[in-house]
Structure 1
Amino acid sequence: MNKTLLNGKRIAFLFTDGVEQSELTEPLKAVKAAGGTATLISTKVHEVQMMQHHDKGDRIQAETAAGAVDAADFDGLVIPGGVANPDRLRTDPASVRFVRAFFQADKPVGVICHGPWMLAEADVLRGRTVTSWPSLRTDLENAGATWVDKEVCVDGGLVTSRNPDDLPAFCSEIVEKFSDGAAP
């Protein structure tokens, strides 16, 4: 990976308790390896419990709260999955506003697994083609999206993937979109 591809780029990572560990840590490594600066954002500043499927994983410190940041200060957004993570995030109005602001500003966004629930909550899926964990299909279609079963789906600057097995393709695509600033 080009170690300077994301030099000067600030990427927001939005997550909370229940986040799937690999879906946070692998994109985080990819962004940093490409020279990007990552900011770890949650519903509040706290130590977040990550999950490895159904088992507790490591903990990671959220640096700031969604209500204390502005999408204008970032070049891209990553929303990892895990069942509980987006389910909790979508009940936090500041997190929903933060996500919506990226789409309103035409900034690139990467979302994996159950993360697209946040896109449905932010009402930014109409007319888009996305993928996700298969159980979200009906929710995403009801929110106006066309759902596909693909390793990675790119719709403008929006990159979606299904699960941890898709992480290599997902990480490659988000770094590319973040580097060129493609709009979602």
Structure 2
Amino acid sequence: MADELRGLTVAILATDGVERVELEAPRGALYGAGARTELLSIHDGEIAARQFDLDPAGSFPVDRQVGQASVDDYDALLLPGGTMNPDQLRTNADAVAFVRSFVESGKPIASICHGPWTLAEADCVRGRRLTSWPSIRTDLRNAGAEVVDEEVCVDGQFTTSRGPQDMAAFCAAIVGQFARTPAGA
């Protein structure tokens, strides 16, 4: 089972305020399944991670600015949460355009916790079935999504999860979803 994602490259879009476990655990699951990941952000250098949105939790080096990235270079997209991270991403034109292009490509997208905020900003949730952290569910409904309270929700190209408490199920689901994507798609 360690090679089911061999040859796939997954973009992880995040910025300062990302919930550390929501980037680190899925990234580890993807690595464990053989995928390569690149951390995209709205700035160069490193992004500051948080734990429970409140406590500093180290940093992650940025591989590329999202404005310089092409959807064609990636097979799948991961949108981790944390409150501050997607709140900043959804106000950045390059990040929103990248997410919208990724949705239009039909490639798989996984998002956890507050991560779907960026999908809503990109106007990509209308008619979709999603789950998220409870505090953004009204925003998702207002953007046209059908919101459910499940540990993992899969709807077409989207896999969403409520938060860190569902991490094991989320990681298993995204490996399974991404495994159905041909490398270089």
Cα distance in 1 for partners of 2:97, 2:181 equals 20
Displacement of 1:39 in angstroms is 0.4
Q: Does 1:143 align with 2:143?
A: yes
Q: Helix, strand or coil for the counterpart of 2:77?
A: strand
* Structure 2 stretches lacking a partner, 5+ long: none
Q: How does 1:84-123 map to 2 (within 5 A)?
A: 84-123=84-123
Cα distance in 2 for partners of 1:149, 1:87 equals 22
> 2:7 aligns to what?
8
Cα distance in 1 for partners of 2:163, 2:124 equals 21
* CA RMSD of superposed structures (Å): 0.9
> 2:35 aligns to what?
36
**Aligned residues of 1:157 and 1:181 also touching (Cα < 8 A):** no
> 2:130 aligns to what?
130
In the alignment of these two chains, the number of paired residues is 181
Query: For residue 38 of structure 1, what is the amino acid of its counterpart?
Result: T
Displacement of 1:156 in angstroms is 1.1
> 1:72 aligns to what?
72
Runs of 4+, deviation exceeding 4 Å: none
> TM-score if structure 2 supplies the norm length?
0.96
Displacement of 1:146 in angstroms is 0.4
> 1:56 aligns to what?
56
Cα distance in 2 for partners of 1:56, 1:74 equals 30
Aligned identity (percent) is: 48
Query: For residue 155 of structure 2, what is the amino acid of its counterpart?
Result: D
> 2:18 aligns to what?
19
* Structure 1 stretches lacking a partner, 5+ long: none
Q: Helix, strand or coil for the counterpart of 1:29?
A: helix
Cα distance in 1 for partners of 2:2, 2:99 equals 27
> TM-score if structure 1 supplies the norm length?
0.97
Cα distance in 1 for partners of 2:80, 2:67 equals 19
Query: For residue 96 of structure 2, what is the amino acid of its counterpart?
Result: V
Cα distance in 2 for partners of 1:36, 1:157 equals 18
Q: Helix, strand or coil for the counterpart of 1:127?
A: coil
